[in-house]
Amino acid sequence: MSDTIEKVKCLIIGSGPAGYTAAIYASRANMNPVLYQGEQPGGQLTTTNDVENFPGYPEGITGPEMMMQLQNQAERFGTDIRHGWVTKVDFSGEFHKVWINDEKEIHASTIIISTGASAKYLGLPSEQKYLKLGGGVSACAVCDGFFYRNQEVVIVGAGDSACEEAHYLSKLCKKVTMLVRRDEFRASKIMAERVKKTENIEILYNTETEEVLGDGQLVTGVKVFNNQTNEKHEIPATGFFVAIGHKPNTDIFKGQIDLDETGYIINAVPGTSKTNVEGVFVSGDAADHVYRQAITAAGTGCMAALDAERYLAAKDADFEVATSTYN
C-alpha cells in the first residue's frame, strides 16, 4: 500500500464512450478529472468493426478510431488519463476511497463510474479450457477473426452482436456456422437478414453447444445438439466464437452501491446519473441493460459530469487545489 494518498475532485473509472464523454464535460467545467482506463482501454468499442449509427459520422468510423478521437478530445481539455485498474472502493466516508492496482489510494470528492460491461461465455468446461489456452475460443471476431482466415468457424448467439460478428467472419473464413438456440433471431431484422443472405453462413436453429472439441491445444470442432429432437452431431471448426451478450463490470461495487439482481447499477433518481451514494454517479452500460449503445453511453457520460459538477457546486466545498497530496 502506498503511504501517499492522492486527493482528486473528480475520478472517472472506465474509458468507453461514457467515461471519455464525462471526461470532456468535467474537464471543460474545470473539475480536473482523473480517468483510469481499466483493463480494456477504449472499452467495448475497441472490439467493434464499423460504427455506422453514431451521429456525425456519415461514412461510419471504426470503433478503435472513434475511441482514439474521444481520448484525444478528453486530453485536449486536460483530462489526466492513466493506465490502471480499480481493485477496491470504499464509499462509506466523507471522501470516496478508491485503490488502483491494490496499491495507490485515491480520495475523490466525486466518482463517475463508467466501467461498462464484458462479454459472456457459455461456461462449458471445454469452452473455458480452450479459452484459457488461447486455442481457438473467442468473444471478439474483430480481434481474433484474422487468425481463422480461410478456415471454418462456429459462432453462438442470435442477437445483433452475433449477426455483426458472423458477417464479419464470413468475409474472412471459408464457412461460418451459426448456432441459434431458439427458432428465431433476437437481432434486428436488418442484421438478421444480412446474415441469412450471406452464402457462407449456415444457420442452425434450435441448436446448442454440448462441447468444444479439441486436440488438447487447439479447437478442432464443436459437438452440438438439437434441443427439439436431441439429435447430436459434430461440426469441424478451428474457431469457436461466443456472442451471447454481456455482464456489467460492477463486481467491485458490490456492497458499496445499490445494484440490481443482474449486477447493473441502479439509478437512485430516475432520469439522472445519481446512485444511492452521494457524489457517486454512473454512466454507460454499467447501468444500462436496455439501450447499450455508444451514443446512449456518451449521453449518460455527459449527464454524470453535469450531475457531479452540480453536486460539487452545491456542497460549496474548498476544491481549489484539484489534485493535491497529503500524508
User: Could you list the residues that contact ligand NDP (CB under 6 A)?
Assistant: 53, 122, 156-162, 164, 181-182, 186, 208, 244-246, 292
77 or 205, CB closer to ligand NDP?
A: 205
CB distance 136 to 152 below 8 Å: no
Q: Which is nearer to ligand NDP, 89 or 163 (CB)?
A: 163
Residue with the shortest CB distance to ligand NDP: 159
**Is 140 annotated as catalytic?**
yes
Q: How far is the CB of 117 from ligand NDP (least distance, A)?
A: 9
The sheet with strand 219-226 has its strands ordered as 207-214, 219-226, 232-236
Nearer to ligand NDP, 93 or 125 (CB): 125
Count the alpha carbons within 13 Å of 2 in the hemisphere toward its beta carbon.
16
Of 3, 10, 50, 143, which one is the catalytic site residue?
Answer: 143
Least distance to ligand NDP, CB of residue 135, Å: 21
According to DSSP, the residues that pair with 61 across neighbouring strands are 51
The minimum distance between CB 206 and ligand NDP, in angstroms, equals: 10
Take residue 181 and report the three cell numbers written for it: 438456440
Of 153 and 257, nearer to ligand NDP (C-beta) is 153
Please answer whether residues 300 and 273 qualify as being in contact, where contact means their C-beta atoms are separated by less than 8 angstroms: yes
Q: Which is nearer to ligand NDP, 132 or 189 (CB)?
A: 189
60: left (phi over 0), alpha (psi -120 to 50) or beta: left
Least Å distance between CB 65 and ligand NDP?
Answer: 16
The Cα 285–Cα 113 span in angstroms is 10
Amino acid identity for residue 156 in this structure:
V
Cβ atoms 237, 155 nearer than 8 A: no
Q: How far is the CB of 205 from ligand NDP (least distance, A)?
A: 10
Residue of 10, 140, 163, 173 marked active site: 140
Say which residues have a Cβ less than 8 Å from residue 251's Cβ, sequence separation at least 6: 263
Q: How far is CA 176 from CA 179, 191, 320, in A?
A: 10, 16, 58
Query: Using CA of residue 222, residue 223, residue 226, residue 231, what is the dihedral sign?
Result: positive
Quick count: other Cβ atoms within 10 Å of Cβ 133? 14
Instruction: State yes or no: is 143 an active-site residue.
Output: yes
Which residues belong to the active site?
A: 140, 143-144
